[in-house]
Structure 1
């Protein structure tokens, strides 16, 4: 490091402000409390303060901000979903993503790459065509392409996939992008903090107080507080919070693992996804390959990562890119995916007055971060579900009005 840069860094004349404050203690009451200091919770706090002037908010995080699924994902952003509900919702999110760096005055490393979902069978090719037509109907830039287009965009790929799963075509989604996940949490956290929101880390929720089917307060590891509005945005911990208010959901928790390689010179510009091989991969600005696979096939409330996963994913990666056989894996991790039966989220008001839910994100929560913040802030501020989330209510399971988003999960979930 140059001496002049080190001198500047250590100078008291140019102090670097903290990303956000660390409040000493909880106040006795808040206008709203958000449980979960990940991207969704912090985004909701940010938009509540910015758009609705509700600033007396506490964000409660049992660990550290962004330490849950926000920091345990593969950072892919897209809107090429299958249902009209999903397409409209995620398209709004993509639109919001494009301006976030300017909103935060923080580089999120948002990078538009293009997204190829590979088809290896006739049936998967039909599904890609279906998704392309639904996308086009709503003005989303998606199209079915032949193998030559895949080869042109990614010359390093083995089009035969080891000779047993030849690529027959792909769904190409031009807006597909990646971003830096931890910077998203920091950006929303700093933006909320600057507007008066309190972020309390290492603060666990122990109970939720309810009187006459209405929220009145929160019991935490640092004391009890009064509030008329509570937003739950805790991903894999959702069933535990719902138990506190006597609500049930069809959510099941499955581990979702990923891993990253050592840095390499840039060679993979697009995002490549194969549902048949259970692989999705992109290359970061630092040259690392970020790789993911399908859900673990068992229900488990844990973020452990396994050797079996790393071996299986590495084998499938080599079917796509045989030249990677000498590349090292430097780390791996797991998140807790809260899966719903129809692969769509659960959002909005609940049977408990003042208790709002943002859950059921499974494998697609990161890409929805901005739109979740916007729509949940609207819902909490107005006590009315935003139009974009009307079809995602918890009550849809009682009415058997499922959304049916499984065909757009992109990997074999």
Structure 2
């Protein structure tokens, strides 16, 4: 007997789920995307890829990197990956000392594991005075830097939207129906089970499984069927700067330890300023994606530009040529919420940032759950049941 699987959201998560389902079943798989695929959260992502996080995320990222290697070897569209490392720079001496101590003791709860073991990052502490003795960073002013951590195993996807299309093109080859410009207005239920959805065009679609991978819309959609997700939001503003004079040097991404800012080169002639207000769940809120503007708040813009010009003086004349404000989802323990919920037939894929990095493993996990009734090895760490007061329909 055939089934029909509906995926709400055509970003990197929904695309991965569609691909992994289509690799395993000939049943009908339909993706419902309110705009064009990967045009919202995925498009607005800084799209870093690095081996940091807890052991669960390490395993997930290893699977993701292996799959992306396959995709990039025989690309369907035009994704690109730039390996550049990441430099976490401290401009206060106490924080530099803290970094040095973390490296000496193989990491701590803030910086994560460090070293060269199976699930550990390769990381080096560099004193501020020695930065230009160890790294080729001609445009960077080392004077304000007291010390830094350098992780070489970090890069970024130049075109995150194209990466989602790598999944979608393969999924469509396997028969997946991708419905762009089709928003979901309602998830239908009957007798404690999800039974389908209603689109903004009034179409009623019967489904055997509803999989919600809708980024910042997850909270609202889950609430509509009585599930209060352990997920909140922070803003994710991005500034794109273009300097007057182009540099031929590939710089690492630069995280400023004492502030929420990250800087990295996106192309030969553009730099990104990213802003992450932190991962403190209690301080986060819930935003309505309908009301988010595209203009970066002036205070965030000015502080970010001033800091970038302080660390990389060559960019003092760089002009802002593009900007946007995304919505970043976060969870209480910094791991995504994936899989079954207490509503039978309704699964969730909600990230704590890192969607580009974790989406491949999330797609695989969802496919195993809905097709094989297999909780998977990730269940204890990613299931909604790990939070007090939550169950899934199998409990």
1:75 to 1:133, Cα distance in 2 relative to 1, 3 A = closer
Q: Is the 8 A contact 1:38 1:69 kept in 2?
A: yes
Match of 1:5 in 2: none
Match of 1:156 in 2: 139
Q: Is the 8 A contact 1:254 1:301 kept in 2?
A: no
Q: Does 1:260 align with 2:243?
A: no
Q: Is the 8 A contact 1:61 1:200 kept in 2?
A: yes
Determine which of 93, 99, 103 is the counterpart of 2:64: 93
CA distance in structure 2 between the partners assigned to 1:316 and 1:380 by the alignment: 47
Match of 1:405 in 2: none
Determine which of 65, 69, 82 is the counterpart of 1:111: 82
Match of 2:21 in 1: 48
Determine which of 162, 166, 172 is the counterpart of 1:183: 162
Match of 2:384 in 1: 394
Determine which of 216, 222, 225 is the counterpart of 1:245: 225
Q: Is the 8 A contact 1:347 1:392 kept in 2?
A: yes
Match of 2:98 in 1: 123
Q: Does 1:315 align with 2:306?
A: yes
Determine which of 373, 380, 384 is the counterpart of 1:383: 373
**Which string of whole-angstrom CA distances, capped at 9 and with x for unpartnered residues, describes residues 49-84 of structure 1?**
12x024511100111211111001112111222x22
Match of 1:8 in 2: none
Q: Is the 8 A contact 1:277 1:316 kept in 2?
A: no
Match of 2:273 in 1: 291
CA distance in structure 2 between the partners assigned to 1:71 and 1:285 by the alignment: 16
CA distance in structure 2 between the partners assigned to 1:380 and 1:103 by the alignment: 29
Q: Is the 8 A contact 2:232 2:284 kept in 1?
A: no
Q: Does 1:31 align with 2:4?
A: yes
Q: Is the 8 A contact 1:347 1:359 kept in 2?
A: yes
CA distance in structure 1 between the partners assigned to 2:357 and 2:215 by the alignment: 14
Q: Does 1:370 align with 2:360?
A: yes
TM-score normalised by length of structure 2? 0.84
More strand by share: 2
Secondary structure of residue in 1 paired with 2:247: coil
Cα RMSD, aligned residues only: 2.5
Secondary structure of residue in 2 paired with 1:142: coil
Moved more, 254-263 or 148-157: 148-157
Determine which of 301, 319, 328 is the counterpart of 1:337: 328
User: How far is the alpha carbon of 1:325 from its aligned partner?
Assistant: 0.9
Q: Which runs of 5+ in 1 are unaligned?
A: 1-28, 401-413
Q: Is the 8 A contact 2:197 2:207 kept in 1?
A: yes
Match of 2:187 in 1: 208
**Which string of whole-angstrom CA distances, capped at 9 and with x for unpartnered residues, describes residues 200-258 of structure 1?**
11212122122232221112223111111111111111111111221112221221111
User: How far is the alpha carbon of 1:126 from its aligned partner?
Assistant: 4.0
Determine which of 344, 353, 364 is the counterpart of 2:344: 353
1:30 to 1:200, Cα distance in 2 relative to 1, 3 A = farther
Q: Is the 8 A contact 1:301 1:336 kept in 2?
A: no
Pairs aligned (count): 365
Moved more, 243-252 or 282-291: 282-291
Secondary structure of residue in 2 paired with 1:329: strand
User: How far is the alpha carbon of 1:177 from its aligned partner?
Assistant: 3.7
1:291 to 1:356, Cα distance in 2 relative to 1, 3 A = same
User: How far is the alpha carbon of 1:44 from its aligned partner?
Assistant: 0.9
Secondary structure of residue in 1 paired with 2:334: coil
TM-score normalised by length of structure 1? 0.81
CA distance in structure 2 between the partners assigned to 1:93 and 1:152 by the alignment: 29
Q: Does 1:68 align with 2:40?
A: yes
Determine which of 260, 263, 268 is the counterpart of 1:281: 263
User: How far is the alpha carbon of 1:193 from its aligned partner?
Assistant: 1.3
CA distance in structure 2 between the partners assigned to 1:366 and 1:194 by the alignment: 22
User: How far is the alpha carbon of 1:196 from its aligned partner?
Assistant: 0.8
